[in-house]
Amino acid sequence: MAQFLWQTSLTSAAWKELMSRDASPLFGEGHRVAEEFGGSVRDSWVAFGENDFIVLVEMPSNESMAAYVLAMTAMGYYSQGKTTVLLSADETNQAILRAAQYHDLG
C-alpha cells in the first residue's frame, strides 16, 4: 500500500468543537473514513506551524487518497493542505534501479 503525508489545517469550527468536548471523536473520524476508501490512518499529530494537523495515511492508490482528502475536507473540519506521496526504502531502491537502467540505455 502507498503511504501519504497529509498536512492540513483545522478550521475554527474544528477548534471550537475540540474545546467543547473530547478530541478523540474528531480525530477518530479520520480512521473510519480511511477504512471506507480501503486504507488506514497510521498516525496523526497536532503541530504548531503552517499546518496544524499532520496525518500519515496508507491507501491502495492515489485516487483513494484523493477521495479521502476530499471527503475529510468536505466535513468542514479541515482547510487548505497538501498531500505528499511517501516512498519506502524498497520503493526508492526500485526507482533508482529503473532510472539506472534508463540511463544505461541512453
Q: What is the CATH number of the domain that holds 54?
A: 3.30.70.920
Tell whether the model's pLDDT for residue 23 goes beyond 90.
Answer: no
Q: 26 CB contacts (<8 Å, ≥6 apart)?
A: 14, 17, 18, 77
**Starting from the edge strand earliest in sequence, which strands make up the sheet with 78-86, in order?**
40-46, 53-59, 2-10, 78-86
Section 27-50 average pLDDT: 92
Averaged pLDDT for residues 68-80 = 90
pLDDT of residue 25: 59
Q: How many domains does the chain have?
A: 1
| 47 SS3 class | coil
Domain span holding position 25: 2-105
- pLDDT digits over 78-88, tens only? 888 999 999 99
69 neighbors 75 (Cβ within 8 angstroms): no
- For the segment 60-82, the average pLDDT, to the nearest whole number, is 92
Q: CA 91, CA 106: separation in Å to the nearest integer?
A: 23
Checking if the pLDDT of 98 tops 60, the result is: yes
